[in-house]
Amino acid sequence: MMEKLLGLPVLASEHGKDVDNLIIYVHWLMIVLFVGWIAYFVYVLIRFRKSRNPTADYVGVKNHASNYIEGGVALAEGILLIGFAVPLWAKAVDRFPNETDATAIRVIAQQFGWNVRYPGKDGVFGKQDMSLITSENPLGVDKSDPHSKDDIQTLNELHVPVNKPVIIHLTSKDVIHSFKVISLRVCQDAIPGMQIPVWFKPLQEGRYQINCAQLCGAGHYNMSLGMLTVESQEKFDKCQAEQSKAPSGGGFE
Ligand SMILES: [Cu+2]
């Protein structure tokens, strides 16, 4: 019910439920605070009206109600932070699934698109080296490495199988971008010179938009052309097999 009221977007990942719950709890707290402050304001208008208080009282309030209420609010905020936000964050950045039980993908952001690399049939990524980068080989893939033969490379098309964890190793070729898929409740900065892993488990098939959540240049909006497709394992395998066969191990679509 609260999801509808807040207009939360479609949810397609496992941990996303916890993100939404946290958003909802924070809104509940804010509703309580909002109503509380308005009620207090109205009370003060009446209680300290001029006709009842003809002369100013410099002692002020003598009871401790406000201290207790303030303590209660701080406690509620502490519970939200320590009980919900921190464990959720720990799960996202600390408890990674095993790479062998997951779909591992490399995403290399650039101005202005998302390069996607799959390891292909052998499950091993071909070597990449900065010194090999040319205009024809923008990601510096070592073509002499046998593991790179079946690697698949696409632009703005990310496919993952449903109900299986996905680990994305994220980096950038130029400036700081941010890989954001709202429906998966995933958002991670892509930073040049760093490879940052991010993981999620998609639970619902569909085609979801990828956005860049950092203003990365004049064509920033073009990065929302990126699409993430969650599909059945069979469809994913078939698609991978087809692309693996393409000359030069895939290439840009
Ligand atoms: Cu960007």
244 within 8 A of 121, measured Cβ to Cβ = yes
Ligand 1 centroid to 112 CA: how many Å? 6
> What pLDDT is recorded for position 252?
46
Ligand 1 centroid to 176 CA: how many Å? 7
Ligand 1 centroid to 93 CA: how many Å? 22
- Neighbour-count burial of 26, counting CB atoms closer than 10 A to its CB (0-12 exposed, 13-18 middle, 19+ buried): middle
Q: In a structure prediction context, what are the per-residue pLDDT tens digits for the chain, which is 253 residues long?
A: 888 888 999 999 999 999 999 999 999 999 999 999 999 999 999 988 989 888 888 887 788 988 999 999 999 999 999 999 999 999 888 888 888 888 999 999 999 999 999 888 777 888 887 788 888 887 888 888 878 877 888 889 999 999 999 999 999 988 999 999 999 999 999 999 899 999 999 999 999 999 999 999 999 999 999 999 999 999 988 888 887 766 544 444 4
Give the Cα separation of 168 and 159 in Å (integer). 12
Ligand 1 centroid to 216 CA: how many Å? 5
Ligand 1 centroid to 178 CA: how many Å? 6
Ligand 1 centroid to 9 CA: how many Å? 22
Ligand 1 centroid to 110 CA: how many Å? 7
Ligand 1 centroid to 138 CA: how many Å? 17
Ligand 1 centroid to 4 CA: how many Å? 30
> What pLDDT is recorded for position 253?
40
Ligand 1 centroid to 1 CA: how many Å? 34
Give the Cα separation of 13 and 2 in Å (integer). 18
> What pLDDT is recorded for position 98?
87
Give the Cα separation of 190 and 128 in Å (integer). 17
Ligand 1 centroid to 220 CA: how many Å? 5
Residues paired with residue 107 on neighbouring β-strands, in sequence order: 116, 170
Report the chain's C-alpha Rg in angstroms: 26
Neighbours of 125 (CB within 10 A): 19
Give the Cα separation of 166 and 187 in Å (integer). 14
Ligand 1 centroid to 109 CA: how many Å? 7
Ligand 1 centroid to 171 CA: how many Å? 11
